[in-house]
Chains A and B, each alone.
Chain A
Amino acid sequence: MLEKAISGTKVYWGWIAFLLLLMSVGAACYWQQLSHGLTITGMSRDVSWGFYIAQFTFLVGVAASAVMLVIPKYLHDYHKFAKILILGEFNAVAMVVLCLLFIVADLGSPQRLMNVLLHPTPNSILFWDMVVLNGYLLINILVGWVTLEAERKQIAPPKWIKFFIYLSIPWAVSIHTVTAFLYCGLPGRGYWLTAVLAARFLASAFAAGPAFLILVTYIAKIFTGFDPGKGVLSTLGKTVVYAMCVNLFLLLCEVFTVFYSQIPSHMAHLQYLFAGYHGHGVLVPWMWSSMIMAVIGILILLVPKNRERDNMLIIACLLIFIGAWIDKGLGMIGGGFVPNPLHEITEYVPTQLELGVSLGIYATGFLVLTILYKVAIGVKEEIE
C-alpha cells in the first residue's frame, strides 16, 4: 500500500520537500550537539531536562489519543468513528516515533543507547517507558496496517487482530501513565510528587490528542477532499472539551492542595510558574496564556452549536491544543526544576540550536504522518 505515498500532487511533493529541508536543518543542529555535547542547549546543572523531554512528555499524550476512537468504535459499536479510526492509529505511530526521537536526542551518550536493553532494570521507570512506547508503536503499526489492508481488499480483517485492538486500549492508558510515573515518584521534586499527575497527564492527553486529530482531519479534508462523515468531528469535540475540563479541574485541585497546606517547597513551583519567584518569572506570561486559551477553548466547545460549526471547532481545538502544549511542553519541566533542591533559581529557556533540533524532529514525525495519511486516504479513495 506504500505505493500510494509515491504518487501525489505538486502540493504534496512540495510539502515533502519542505519537511526534508526542515529535517536537514535539524540534522545540522544535531550534528553540533553530537560534536559539542548538550552544552548547545539551554539546560543546566539545575534544570537537567528541557525542551526535548518536555516535547516527548506532551507527544506521548497526543499518541494515546487513538484510544478515544478505539473505545467508542470497538467497545461500544459507535460505527460513526470507523472512517477516521485509521487516522487515529497512524497518528499514534507518528507521535510515538516523535517521542522516541526526542528521547534519543536528549541522551548525553546516545551511542550507548543499547545499554538500556543490554542491562534491563525493571526498577527504573525509564525501562518501562521504553517497553510501553515501543510496544504501542508496534501495536498501532500492526493494527493500522492489517485493518487498512483488509479494508482495501473489501474483506473482514483477520480475527486475531481483535486481540491487538483490545490490547491497544489499556496499552494507550499505560504509555501515558508510565510517562507520568517517570515524574511522580521522585522524592525531591515537589511539583511532580502528586498522585494526581498521572490523571492530569491522561486528561490533557485526551484533550490535546483528539484536538490534534480534528485539526489534521480538517487539513486532510482541504487537501484531499477526505470526508470523515457527518457529525464525527463534532462528537470528537465533546471528548476534547470534557477531557480539558477534567484537566483544568485537576489543576485547580493541585492549586488548592498546595496553597491550602502552605508547604513552602510545594508552593514555590506554582509560584514560580504563575507569579514569578524572587524576581524570576520567564514562564509567567506563557502559563497565563495557556490558562486563558484553555478556558476560552472550553467555553467555545461547551456550546453544542459551536461544535457543529467548522470555524469554531477549529479555533477551539487550536486554543486547547496550544494551551495543553504550553502546560506540558513548557510548564512541566520548568516548574519541576525551578527552584532547585537548595531553593536556588536557575531559569531555563531553550536555545536556538535546541529548537533547531526539535524542529527537525517534528518535521520527521510529520513526514511519517504525511506518508501514512497519504496511504490511508489513498486506500479509502480507491475503495470508493
Chain B
Amino acid sequence: MKTMRRNFLKIAAFAALGWGVRPASQLLASAGAEPSEGVLFASRHAVHAGPNSLKASRWAMVIDTTKLTEKIMEEVVHTCHSIHNVPEIPGKQNLKWIWEAHMDHLFLEDLHEFQPQAGAKSALALCNHCDNPPCVRVCPTKATFQREDGIVMMDFHRCIGCRYCMAGCPYGSRSFNFMDPRKHLGKTNPDFPTRTKGVVEKCEFCAERLAEGKMPACVEVSEGAMVFGDLSDPESEVRKLLAERFSIRRSPTLGTKPCVYYLV
C-alpha cells in the first residue's frame, strides 16, 4: 500500500513537471503584453506613433537657467502638476514631478562657489530620461521601461510599489504614493488619470501630449526657457542651443547619460 502511494506520487510529480513545460515556455515567451517588451531582459519598447504625434529618435530637453525666473518656475510646476493630477501633499511624503531646486543641490560638487553673480541661483529638477537609466535596470516587473525614443515611461498598472527604482535613481526624481492621492487633489483634470496609493510616479516627458502633436506642458509655459526636441536631429533647436552655449548635466560621471541639459 505504502509503496503504491509513493510511486503514484512520484509519477504525478513527474507528470506535473512534464505538463508544465509547455505553459511555462509560453509564459516565458510572451513575458508580458507584447513581444517587443523583451522575453526576459528589459529592452526598449517600440513606439507606434499615430499620424499626429511628434516623433523623434531621442527626445531631450534643454533648460536655459539664465532665462528661468521664479514666476516661470512656479508656473511650470503648477501646470505640470495640475494637468497630471499630481497631489499637493505637505510634509515629507510629498510628490513632485518637476520642482525648483538650488543650483548647489542640483549640481553638487560640479559647480564651484565662485559662479558669476548674474548666474541663476536655482533651476528646475525633473526626471532626466537617461539614456542608460538605472531605474529601468532595477525594476523587477518592467513597470518602468524605456521607449525607443528615449523616454523612460511608467506603467502604473504593473507597478508593485517596491520602490527599487527610487533607490536606483541618482537624481531623486521619483515619487511614491504613500497615501491615496485623490484626497489631496484640488481640481482633477478628467483627461488624465490619477494614480492610486502604492505606486511610484514621475515625469514622462508628456508622452500623452506628444502623441497628440503637442509639446510638453512645461515647455509650453516656460516662455522659451525650456526647449524640447530631437537630439539626433542636428537641425533641431536643442542641438543648435547645445552647439552655441555651454551646457552641463546632473552627475554625468555616473554613466546614466541624462538627457536634460542645463545652459549656464
Chain A residues packing against B (C-beta within 8 Å): 36-39, 41, 43-46, 48-49, 106-110, 112-113, 115-116, 118-127, 130, 182-183, 185-189, 264-265, 336-337, 340-344, 346
Q: Which of B129-175 contact A (CB under 8 A)?
A: 134, 137-143, 158-164, 166-172, 175
Which B residues touch A112, using CB under 8 A? 141, 158-161
Which B residues touch A341, using CB under 8 A? 169-172, 251
- A45 near B176 with CB under 8 A, answer yes
- A107 near B105 with CB under 8 A, answer no
* Identity of the chain A residue whose Cβ is nearest the Cβ of B161 in the assembled complex: A108
The answer to whether B247 has its CB under 8 Å from any CB of chain A is no
Which B residues touch A342, using CB under 8 A? 101, 105-106, 108, 125, 172
Instruction: Choose among A46, A119, A336 the residue that contacts B32 (Cβ–Cβ < 8 A).
Output: A119
Instruction: Choose among A38, A44, A126 the residue that contacts B138 (Cβ–Cβ < 8 A).
Output: A126
Interface of chain A, main secondary structure: loop
Greatest chain A CB density within 10 A among B108, B109, B141, B158 is at B141
* Identity of the chain A residue whose Cβ is nearest the Cβ of B256 in the assembled complex: A187
* Identity of the chain A residue whose Cβ is nearest the Cβ of B125 in the assembled complex: A342
19 contacts between A and B (CB under 8 A): A36-B179, A37-B198, A38-B197, A39-B178, A44-B178, A45-B93, A45-B95, A45-B172, A46-B92, A46-B172, A48-B166, A108-B163, A109-B161, A119-B32, A119-B141, A121-B40, A186-B170, A188-B169, A341-B169
Which A residues touch B196, using CB under 8 A? 109
Known: A45-B176, A187-B170, A265-B108. A108 touches B197 (CB 8 A): yes
Known: A119-B32, A186-B134. A343 touches B158 (CB 8 A): no
- B92 near A186 with CB under 8 A, answer no
Known: A36-B179, A187-B134, A341-B172. A45 touches B198 (CB 8 A): no
- A123 near B41 with CB under 8 A, answer yes
Instruction: Choose among B32, B162, B168, B180 the residue that contacts A186 (Cβ–Cβ < 8 A).
Output: B168
Distance between Cα atoms of A189 and B92 in the complex (Å):
19
Distance between Cα atoms of A344 and B172 in the complex (Å):
10
- A126 near B158 with CB under 8 A, answer no
* Identity of the chain B residue whose Cβ is nearest the Cβ of A50 in the assembled complex: B163
Which A residues touch B159, using CB under 8 A? 108-109, 112
- B138 near A125 with CB under 8 A, answer yes
- A115 near B160 with CB under 8 A, answer yes
Known: A48-B163, A115-B158, A119-B158. A109 touches B138 (CB 8 A): no
